[in-house]
Structure 1
Amino acid sequence: MKLVRIKRKTRTEKRYTSKMGILSVQVTYIKKMLLGIPVKTLHKYRETYYGEMKDCTDCYLFI
């Protein structure tokens, strides 16, 4: 059994951008796990309608 592993998980979130308004996008989180417990989020990105990968810093989480 590995002690440290990297895990990738995709989930749907509602995000807000000033140009397009509210979007429902697939956000992928890459997390470092220690003994099955998430320790740190290394990176998160989203895929656009056209297939481009973008960082999640340009759009805000809509609650």
Structure 2
Amino acid sequence: MKLISIKRQTQTEARFSTKMGTLEAKVTYIKKQFLNIPIKTLHKYRETYYGEIKDCEDCVIAR
């Protein structure tokens, strides 16, 4: 049994971009887990409408 593992999870979130406004995007989180308890998010990225992969730093979560 592994103590430390890395999981990838995709979920749909509402994002806001200054050029496009509010949009629904698939955001993928890569998390480090210790005994299936999430410890740290290593990286998160999103897929755009055109199929490009971008980092989530250029847009903020819409509220």
Question: Does the alignment reach a TM-score above 0.5?
Answer: yes
TM-score by length of 1: 0.97
Give the letter for the 1:12 counterpart.
Answer: T
Which residue of 2 is the match for residue 19 of structure 1? 19
Which residue of 2 is the match for residue 40 of structure 1? 40
Which residue of 2 is the match for residue 57 of structure 1? 57
1:24-57 C-alpha deviation (Å, 9 max, x unpaired): 0000000000001000000000001111100001
TM-score by length of 2: 0.97
Which residue of 2 is the match for residue 2 of structure 1? 2
CA distance in 2, matches of 1:20, 1:57: 16
Gaps of 5+ in 2: none
Gaps of 5+ in 1: none
Give the letter for the 2:17 counterpart.
Answer: T
Q: Percent identity?
A: 65
* Moved beyond 4 Å, runs of 4+: none
Give the letter for the 1:26 counterpart.
Answer: K
